[in-house]
Structure 1
Amino acid sequence: MESVIATDHLIIGSGISGLMLAHKLAAKDKVTVIAKGSLFDNNTRYAQGGIASVLSPKDSFEKHIEDTEVAGAGLCHPEIVSVVVRGGPKAIRELIDLGVDFTKRAGAETESVPYHLTKEGGHSKRRVIHSDDLTGKEVLRALVEAVKANPNVTIYENAFAVDLITTDRYAPSFSENICLGAYVLRRETDDVICFQSRRTYLCAGGHGKAYLYTSNPDGATGDGLAMGWRAGCKVANLEFMQFHPTCLFHPDAKNFLISEAVRGEGAVLKDASRQPFMKRYHHLGSLAPRDIVARAIDLELKKSGSSHLYLDATEIGAEKVKEHFPNIYNTCLKYGIDITKDMIPVVPAAHYSCGGLVVDEHGRTNVHGLFALGEVACTGLHGANRLASNSLLEALVFADRVAAWALDHVPDGISDVNIPKWNSGDTIVPDELVVLTHTWDEIRRLMWNYVGIVRSEKRLQRAFDRIISIRKELDTYYWHYQISDVFLEVRNLADVAYLTIKCARKRKESRGIHYNIDYPVPADDSPAKDTVIW
């Protein structure tokens, strides 16, 4: 493979936002997609619940907008909420046209809404369209088939983006910071190649692996966020890491999520004594917004000293459980839990970041030629707490908006910039990697213990002091040893942890997902403000 590869559009990430964007851009231009692992190794693959959209005559855009803003605790950007919510039906139609097999409702041929819609926490109406409890997997299947069939799309799997290439770093004579592409590590050969692009799109997903317990796959190490920040992008609201209340608690289960849709169909959270408890915290009980449910579970765990609580789905009915949640039913059964008869042991886990790289209504960052969409971006939709199943909706709507803008605007003539090849200098092959695995583990425990569901000024200060030292250690390692995928992930996790702690320390209040015991109520200033770091 040549050391420099030129393309019209470089998409870093292969989840729902990246693949839908590739599908749309490839209608006119050449597109290159970089996948860190395989095309199926991303957060989209594990999305169970579905996509929130107004599809029923009993629902309305106004109600969906209101639910989103209530969940967002005063930080949602109203214009973005309106754009995303109103773009939902079109996005769903496009997926259906691509062959996504959404779950039909009984008697669909006689109903005005042919698909089964479920209800999740914070929603006032049934509006979550799904494909059983494997929505992400089904959507990903259809998108992968679409991009693979398009001759304008070139895909590189097992390709780890190292850093973005910008004029600030490699052509400082330019008056503004422009993204020119990225250096990419081929994981199979350990060599670094340069992708030069007219436009670059960060679709690299979230950073749940910064925490000890997470619903995210191993690859969710905040690579896009860290690269964007190092390139000069503004970052906002990283203090708002959403903890999903119900991940399966079992010694042999790894990061398995029990969808919120299970509670939407009637499952009830119960304490260590197997008694319902959520009504003590919110009038919606087990269907309260996620931030409230997660904090309630955290408090109940601390009060009881138990390692887990329970989700009781037995009242839903065996037939309905097997029909709507076949993956959850079969997976739990594999671990000896029959959820039609047994309560499900659950714990909270880091799930979704409401913050990210600051973008405008067209997905543009403050670095010229660089876009961000999906979980890596902060659009203003989620505010201080994401409404359930709004994330896939946001990815689809922004993929449409970004593609439309990019295809309608000719990029500046920057293709003549001479980008240097990757230079490893005098670095050597590391003699052992145990220092990296130890650092990875330390970061995740540090974040879970000090920057978790409930925070304090003292905890945040301890975390900040240690993450400063860790980043210095990793910087020394970077200049001495040749890079590897393990090092890149740990470096990105350290950068994301640093940014998250900085954001959390700046917010002197509790709002949405961010809860600080030293500032237990929202601040009086109006309107609420985003936390922006540059």
Structure 2
Amino acid sequence: MVSNEKIITSDFLVIGSGVSGLTFALKIATKHKESKVIIVTKDSQSESNTKYAQGGIATVFDKNVDSFEQHVQDTLVAGDGLCDEDVVRMVVEDAPNRLQELIEWGTKFDKNENGYYDLGREGGHSQNRILHHTDITGAEIARALLAQVNALPNIDFLTHHYAIDLITEHQVKKKKTKRNSKISCYGAYVLDEKKEQVKTIVSKFTLLASGGNGQVYETTTNPTVATGDGIGIAYRAKAEISEMEFIQFHPTALYNPGEYPAFLISEAVRGFGAKLRDFKGNLFMHNYDEREELASRDIVARAIDNELKKSGKPHVYLDCTNLDMDKFAAHFPNITEKCASLNIDVSKDFIPVVPASHYICGGVNVNKKAKTSIKKLYACGEVTRTGLHGGNRLASNSLLEGLVYAHNAFTTISKKYKKAKLPKNAPAWNDSGVIKNMEKILITHDRNEVKTIMTNYVGIVRSNERLKRAEKRLRVLYEDNKRLYDHSELSVDLCELRNLITTAYLITQFSKKRTKNCGGFYSLDCIQ
């Protein structure tokens, strides 16, 4: 591994290539054609959580039957009292503008036979307001955004580049920094995986849009790239982090042992009319919530978890057999095809499902302008805690959040761009004294152990004793990883493990501090 011989400079550095990062890059590069924008992403251009989003984007589109107030209230109810209502209103009311932009950029949403947008409904929503592209909405949005981004000459897209750490005063001025102190971001150290070279990218502004950390659990709908990298590097840079205890488990991932990540059976399937049944085929959601299958995700996930614990069985069922199969196949072609590949005929057979880690509602604190507590560092998307989701995200609000906050970051930074200057004295990466790590088994073993700890002790249902055990084991893993990181040649696997341990620790610590059950957090030792 060698460090770079020169420092790479840019006006804007974007870390992540999901809906948030691509939207910001597109807007800023279009407005400031003389600027240089660098997007770094750890895999291919399209590999992100956005690509795997099935459901769609929630927005008040038909004001004859829907209203901003209804969408606001649905979001507040799902968030279980922890949402920032001002933020909720801002996002909901800005939604139509952001959706119109997506359409203008070439995103195609499904329409019905009358030529109007086919609005779906998901758990927690009081109206049909989900715009979608069959059951691959995220992939369609990513396609449209990438086509626009790749057409701009002032954007450099660096694939297979992994952000190791942010550059702050700690490196530039050689002084220790404290959380909540006045810190500035000067860019990031980035590992070029193919060249095995660490690059120093210095930038006037940095946008963190790196997604979530679903890979911290054994069963997750998240792609393998979702290892909490953004939260990890922001935490080490002393950014403010909050509400990490609120993990949303999607109630219905396809039960298919050996498949990884788990295939998601969209919440829109229940919105379409599918019913949950226990292992004996009995309906059970009426025992947990009057909304039954359309209750919010935390309620449905805990209900399934309870049914599994009572029965000792590995899964429950999702029953689609009484639905209009022609419409179902048209709306959910990929789900239908996936089930058929496993010899499940959704018109006749129940779909085996289990809850899976899906989304983290907390993360890096940002204000309405997408500003973090670190100067010149902005963030948007799942890596953040904005106040929109509170204790539990309302279905199909996440892509919307990414769009709105990417726009807010764009408008805020645009006003500051002309006066901004590139930072000086950013040191190149120093990897002297390291040795080549030949034992990858150490990394693999520790990664699996993190997943086991979090699944068993910090999952859908927690307790004080489970959290103590998790904390004890994670501390050992942290010390082992630190020794390995300090003395071994860098690799993506090693850096990912570092961030998985960090986010696992943060989830555990924030869980220990919460004394009341709400949203996606539930402990046997807490009050309701």
Q: TM-score range by the shorter chain?
A: over 0.9
User: What code does the residue aligned with 1:336 have?
Assistant: N
User: What code does the residue aligned with 2:113 have?
Assistant: A
**Which residue pairs with 2:28 in the alignment?**
25
Structure 1's unaligned 5+ residue stretches are 109-113, 522-534
**Which residue pairs with 1:383 in the alignment?**
390
**Which residue pairs with 2:173 in the alignment?**
171
Give a deviation string over 1:192-232, Cα, whole Å, max 9, x none: 01100001011000000000100000010000010001001
Q: Is the 8 Å Cα contact of residues 204 and 423 (structure 2) preserved in structure 1? A: no
Q: Is the 8 Å Cα contact of residues 198 and 411 (structure 1) preserved in structure 2? A: no
**Which residue pairs with 1:228 in the alignment?**
234
Which SS does the other structure have where 1:276 is aligned? Answer: coil
Q: Is the 8 Å Cα contact of residues 233 and 366 (structure 1) preserved in structure 2? A: yes
**Which residue pairs with 1:529 in the alignment?**
none
Q: Is the 8 Å Cα contact of residues 321 and 340 (structure 1) preserved in structure 2? A: no
Distance 1:252 1:461 in 2: 30
The answer to whether structure 1 residue 124 and structure 2 residue 126 are counterparts is yes
User: CA separation of 1:69/1:416 partners in 2, compared to 1, >3 Å: closer, same or farther?
Assistant: closer
Q: Is the 8 Å Cα contact of residues 515 and 526 (structure 2) preserved in structure 1? A: yes
Q: Is the 8 Å Cα contact of residues 186 and 423 (structure 2) preserved in structure 1? A: no
Q: Is the 8 Å Cα contact of residues 171 and 417 (structure 1) preserved in structure 2? A: no
Which SS does the other structure have where 1:118 is aligned? Answer: coil
Distance 1:228 1:430 in 2: 26
**Which residue pairs with 2:19 in the alignment?**
16
Distance 1:303 1:423 in 2: 55
Match for 1:67 among 74, 79, 83?
Answer: 74
Equivalence map 1:230-249=2 (5 Å): 230-249=236-255
Q: Is the 8 Å Cα contact of residues 370 and 378 (structure 2) preserved in structure 1? A: yes
Give a deviation string over 1:445-467, Cα, whole Å, max 9, x none: 10000000000000001101111
Q: What TM-score does the superposition give when structure 1 sets the normalisation length?
A: 0.95
Displacement of 1:478 in angstroms is 1.1
Equivalence map 1:93-242=2 (5 Å): 93-108=100-115, 114-172=116-174, 176-242=182-248
Q: Is the 8 Å Cα contact of residues 211 and 230 (structure 2) preserved in structure 1? A: yes
Which SS does the other structure have where 1:120 is aligned? Answer: coil
Give a deviation string over 1:29-62, Cα, whole Å, max 9, x none: 3211001100111110000000000001210000
Q: Is the 8 Å Cα contact of residues 25 and 407 (structure 1) preserved in structure 2? A: yes
Q: Is the 8 Å Cα contact of residues 181 and 200 (structure 1) preserved in structure 2? A: yes
Displacement of 1:251 in angstroms is 2.6
User: CA separation of 1:2/1:143 partners in 2, compared to 1, >3 Å: closer, same or farther?
Assistant: farther
Which SS does the other structure have where 1:80 is aligned? Answer: helix
Structure 2's unaligned 5+ residue stretches are none
Distance 2:325 2:150 in 1: 39
Displacement of 1:499 in angstroms is 0.6
Displacement of 1:411 in angstroms is 7.1
Distance 1:332 1:68 in 2: 31
Distance 2:199 2:342 in 1: 43
Distance 1:432 1:356 in 2: 32
**Which residue pairs with 2:378 in the alignment?**
371
User: CA separation of 1:271/1:317 partners in 2, compared to 1, >3 Å: closer, same or farther?
Assistant: same
Match for 2:91 among 78, 84, 91?
Answer: 84
The answer to whether structure 1 residue 354 and structure 2 residue 357 are counterparts is no
Displacement of 1:412 in angstroms is 6.4
**Which residue pairs with 1:494 in the alignment?**
501
Distance 1:411 1:193 in 2: 26
Distance 1:358 1:396 in 2: 17
Distance 2:106 2:269 in 1: 25
Distance 1:95 1:358 in 2: 26
Q: Is the 8 Å Cα contact of residues 37 and 159 (structure 1) preserved in structure 2? A: yes
Displacement of 1:63 in angstroms is 0.3
User: What code does the residue aligned with 1:5 have?
Assistant: I
Which SS does the other structure have where 1:117 is aligned? Answer: coil
**Which residue pairs with 1:531 in the alignment?**
none
Give a deviation string over 1:260-313, Cα, whole Å, max 9, x none: 000001000110111110000000111111000000000000000000000001
Distance 1:180 1:201 in 2: 11
Match for 1:395 among 395, 399, 402?
Answer: 402
User: CA separation of 1:280/1:200 partners in 2, compared to 1, >3 Å: closer, same or farther?
Assistant: same
Q: What TM-score does the superposition give when structure 2 sets the normalisation length?
A: 0.96
User: What code does the residue aligned with 1:219 have?
Assistant: V
Equivalence map 1:509-520=2 (5 Å): 509-520=516-527
Displacement of 1:152 in angstroms is 1.6
Moved runs in structure 1, 4+ residues, more than 4 A?
Answer: 172-175, 411-414
Q: Is the 8 Å Cα contact of residues 171 and 426 (structure 2) preserved in structure 1? A: no
**Which residue pairs with 1:330 in the alignment?**
337
**Which residue pairs with 2:349 in the alignment?**
342
**Which residue pairs with 1:55 in the alignment?**
61
Which SS does the other structure have where 1:311 is aligned? Answer: strand
Distance 2:393 2:486 in 1: 39
The answer to whether structure 1 residue 454 and structure 2 residue 465 are counterparts is no
Displacement of 1:520 in angstroms is 3.5
**Which residue pairs with 1:111 in the alignment?**
none
Count of aligned pairs: 516
Alignment root-mean-square deviation, CA: 1.3
Distance 2:347 2:377 in 1: 48
Equivalence map 1:28-47=2 (5 Å): 28=32, 29-47=35-53
Displacement of 1:170 in angstroms is 2.3
Match for 2:428 among 421, 429, 435?
Answer: 421
Match for 1:284 among 277, 286, 291?
Answer: 291
Q: Is the 8 Å Cα contact of residues 169 and 184 (structure 2) preserved in structure 1? A: yes
Q: Is the 8 Å Cα contact of residues 168 and 176 (structure 1) preserved in structure 2? A: no
Distance 2:516 2:463 in 1: 11
Distance 1:518 1:412 in 2: 53
Which SS does the other structure have where 1:365 is aligned? Answer: coil
Give a deviation string over 1:358-407, Cα, whole Å, max 9, x none: 00111111111101100001000000000000000000011111101100
